[in-house]
Amino acid sequence: MKYLTITLTLLSILYACSYEGREYADIIFFDGVIYTSNSAQEVVDSFAVKDDKIIFVGSFEESKSYTNLNTQKISLDGKMILPGLHDVHIHLPGIVKNDLCDLDAKRYSLDELVPILQQCIQRLDLPKGEWLAVTQWQYYVGNEPSEPNPNLRAALDNVSQYHPIMLLGHDGHTSAVNSFAFSISQNSNGEVIGLNKQTLNREFSHLKKLIGVDDQGNPSGLVKEHARKIFKDHPNLWGHPTIDEEVYTSIANILASSGITSVLDPALQAYEIEKFAELASKIELSYRMHAAFYSDYDKFKDPESEKINVKKIITAIKDLQRKYNQIPNFKLNTGKIFVDGVLEGDPLANPPMLPNAASLNHYLQPVFSNPSNSDLIYVKSYVQGDSPDCNHVGKLSNEQFYKLFGFHPDQCEQSKGVLEYDVDFIKEYTRELHAAGINVHSHTIGDRALRVAMDAFELAKESHGSSDGNFSITHAQLMHPDDIQRFSSIKVFIAFQYAWIEPFSDYLMTVAPFIDPIFSEDDLYDQKSYYYRNTYPARSSQLAGAILAAGSDAPVETRDPRPFLNIEKAITRKNELTGRVMNQTEAISLFDAIDAYTINGAKMLQQDKLTGSIEIGKKADFIILNQNLLDLENDNKLDDISETKVLSTWFDGKEIYLKNIK
């Protein structure tokens, strides 16, 4: 017995020594499917948390050495855990529903719109002369004309002739106004001159590609991009609610219920940054917020040269950084550049309004037909700009020309879209942001815009190779293959909106016919067409060296950030109702799609040493799901990924959301 006692004592000493300095977990999660998002894309069944950090990742058996009497053990019963999600392109104020007249991005014909908007005027009790701002207008589908409402302007005139009205598209790029609004539009000097056929061809001629017209050349109501600046008295071109404590709290709740623990808001103006920072200093953020500075950069023009002073913009950002970057979980570390606009045209107009995204090639000029027995608009023919018919432009009235040749004379014009700013500014601003160590976040939709952004990135990298700033592109709806190969020489993050890949034929008819000859619905899915092959080229970009991240761009299309729909569409690129697929060769894997939302997003936000994966030493930001995504993949049920619900969200080791599952 004496020897046995000595042996046990020695063993106890050795055991104690082996765990000397060992941290014991507050909580151990076990019996789960835990995707780590580490470099090896490993799956484990257990991990341990102490305070706000992860202290162990591995098997449940191994985790036992991290337990003591105070350790809580939580069985996951086979549920799946992911790192907290990173939405690196989300407009935070816009995800909160406001009290304005709100269309919720639903599809309405013009006849349906009129009484809805009239009810808004009554509900809001708007005095005559006051703006009616209508948020979340769905421009891409719907808006079908009728005899009493032949275009947007006429429909809004039928709503009210006593109020200026603006429909604010959910995309943030497109609006529609009535005659009252046109009558109070102002030139660059702030003088009210009104927008009409005459002033559109004179004072506002530089905006012609951004303003829709009818067959007589009168403004039809549609106004895009920076052309909306002519409505200087409009109270809210974004349509977002005022950032107050209620909105601030609602944003946090929406993110937590979606499993989102880190974000980049890609376009906040100085006063919005100040408001978020003020609230974050009083009410602790329950997510890691990164802000991208955006402004109407024309406000930084030097009066004499009329040139935008980039140095002043950088100074403004630096001043805000010094003021607010010490607030916990709040960072202003990015500058936003809109390189171009959007790729949707207007097939319902005569002449059809062309897309305004910057294109390498001239947009095609389709002549559309809308058969009464079809829900889908079709292309009858295409106008050739160099055809003999176009020699008659200006020699005949619009009516005579149309009657003789079957298309509007304006369709003889050619366009490659519009850059939001000139190339020199884009390059200079990109270079100076990078020189200051500020990340660059560039909006590109058209293939020419992406090329301009890449040119600017390369120039900035050559000029300031030691900068800590990085480069990211958002949207990237269309890329030329030559530019994809450039990702091998410069590190670029791409924040795709993967849900937008899902093919809807009615939407595609607003885009593809302006790029490829499209005469039938099947043509939209022709694997040889330029748009089909080069839209949202996720896999090709990844193989070339781009780092795939993910952004919802909410409230575009919907206020719901819907991360699991985005993950599903990144993998399937499919519309399950029709079975149509948009270029399956550009699909990415399940793990790569999750990584886009986790570790890659963390890298883009320069916090991958802090979070983005379930690894020892990192913050305990993670989510528990109601279904195992790996089982869905194994059972060939990828279309069910979008049905995934977040059961629980943890931030800094604390549970900040628990789903009510009554």
Q: Hey, what are 220's tokens?
A: 């039809």
The CATH number given to whatever domain includes residue 153 is 3.10.310.70
Out of 225-229, 284-288, 326-330, 524-528, which region has the weakest mean confidence (pLDDT)?
Answer: 225-229
Q: Measure the CA–CA gap between 637 and 630, rounded to whole angstroms.
A: 10
Q: Specify if 378 maps to a domain.
A: yes
Which residue, 412, 441, 476, sits at the end of a domain?
412
| Model confidence at 611: pLDDT above 50 | yes
What's the mean per-residue pLDDT of the chain? 93
Q: Hey, what are 585's tokens?
A: 């060769």
Which residue from 583, 564, 537 is spatially nearest to 632, judged by alpha carbons? 564
Q: Specify if 451 maps to a domain.
A: no
| Model confidence at 42: pLDDT above 70 | yes
Assess contact for 116 and 109: CB atoms under 8 A: no
**What Å distances lie between residue 462 and 25, 427, 459, CA to CA?**
48, 12, 5
Q: Which amino acid, one-letter code, is at 267?
A: A
Q: Measure the CA–CA gap between 118 and 122, rounded to whole angstroms.
A: 6
CB atoms within 10 A of CB 147: 7
**What Å distances lie between residue 545 and 433, 469, 539, CA to CA?**
23, 18, 10
Q: Hey, what are 10's tokens?
A: 């020695």
Assess contact for 589 and 641: CB atoms under 8 A: no
Q: What angle do CA 148, 150, 153 make, to 5 degrees?
A: 100
Assess contact for 264 and 605: CB atoms under 8 A: yes
Q: Specify if 141 maps to a domain.
A: yes
Please tell me the predicted confidence (pLDDT) of residue 324. 97
Which residue, 202, 230, 258, sits at the end of a domain?
230
Judge residue 425's burial from the number of C-beta atoms within 10 Å of its C-beta, 0-12 exposed, 13-18 middle, 19 or more buried.
Answer: middle
| DSSP 3-state of 472 | strand
Domain extent at residue 219? 99-230
Which residue, 412, 433, 448, sits at the end of a domain?
412
Please tell me the predicted confidence (pLDDT) of residue 22. 74
Helices 423-435/447-463 angle, 10° precision:
40
- Give the confidence band of 372 by pLDDT, cuts at 50, 70, 90: low
Q: Measure the CA–CA gap between 553 and 474, rounded to whole angstroms.
A: 9
Give the residue-averaged pLDDT of 195-199.
94
| Model confidence at 508: pLDDT above 60 | yes
Q: Which residues neighbour 125 within 8 Å (Cβ) at sequence distance 6 or greater?
A: none
pTM: 0.94
| Residue indicated by tokens 């997510």 | 287
Q: Hey, what are 102's tokens?
A: 């709100």
- Give the confidence band of 591 by pLDDT, cuts at 50, 70, 90: very high
Full DSSP string of 143-172: ----SS--SHHHHHHHH-SSS-EEEEETTS
Give the residue-averaged pLDDT of 183-208.
93
Q: Specify if 144 maps to a domain.
A: yes
CB atoms within 10 A of CB 136: 24
Q: Which amino acid, one-letter code, is at 486?
A: R
- Give the confidence band of 289 by pLDDT, cuts at 50, 70, 90: very high
| Model confidence at 9: pLDDT above 50 | no
Please tell me the predicted confidence (pLDDT) of residue 1. 44
Which residue from 551, 503, 556, 553 is spatially nearest to 531, judged by alpha carbons? 503
Please tell me the predicted confidence (pLDDT) of residue 99. 82
φ and ψ at 11, to 5 degrees? -60, -40
Which residue from 65, 61, 68 is spatially nearest to 30, judged by alpha carbons? 61
Please tell me the predicted confidence (pLDDT) of residue 4. 36
| Model confidence at 15: pLDDT above 50 | no
| Model confidence at 336: pLDDT above 50 | yes
Tell me how long the chain is. 662
**What Å distances lie between residue 413 and 349, 351, 393, 417, 571, CA to CA?**
16, 11, 10, 12, 40
Give the residue-averaged pLDDT of 585-589.
98
The total domain count for the chain is 2
Please tell me the predicted confidence (pLDDT) of residue 305. 85
Given phi > 0 = left and psi -120 to 50 = alpha, else beta, which region is 329?
left
Q: Measure the CA–CA gap between 586 and 563, rounded to whole angstroms.
A: 19
- Give the confidence band of 2 by pLDDT, cuts at 50, 70, 90: very low
Q: Specify if 112 maps to a domain.
A: yes
Q: Measure the CA–CA gap between 478 and 416, rounded to whole angstroms.
A: 14
Please tell me the predicted confidence (pLDDT) of residue 21. 62
Q: Measure the CA–CA gap between 161 and 178, rounded to whole angstroms.
A: 8
Tell me the per-residue pLDDT of 59-115, one tens digit each, with 9 for 90 and over.
999 999 999 999 999 999 999 999 999 999 999 999 999 888 999 999 999 999 999
| Model confidence at 216: pLDDT above 80 | yes
Q: Specify if 71 maps to a domain.
A: no
CB atoms within 10 A of CB 78: 11
| Model confidence at 16: pLDDT above 70 | no
Please tell me the predicted confidence (pLDDT) of residue 116. 97
Q: Parallel, antiparallel, or unpaired for β 53-58 and 46-50?
A: antiparallel
Out of 187-201, 273-287, 557-571, which region has the weakest mean confidence (pLDDT)?
Answer: 187-201
Please tell me the predicted confidence (pLDDT) of residue 112. 97
Q: Parallel, antiparallel, or unpaired for β 165-169 and 132-137?
A: parallel
Q: Specify if 201 maps to a domain.
A: yes
Q: Hey, what are 118's tokens?
A: 């009239």
| Model confidence at 14: pLDDT above 50 | no
Whole-angstrom Cα Rg for the chain: 27
Q: Measure the CA–CA gap between 620 and 85, rounded to whole angstroms.
A: 12
| Model confidence at 401: pLDDT above 50 | yes
Please tell me the predicted confidence (pLDDT) of residue 111. 97
The rounded percent of the chain whose pLDDT value lies above 90 is: 89
Give the residue-averaged pLDDT of 156-176.
95
Give the residue-averaged pLDDT of 549-555.
97
Q: Specify if 129 maps to a domain.
A: yes
| DSSP 3-state of 360 | coil
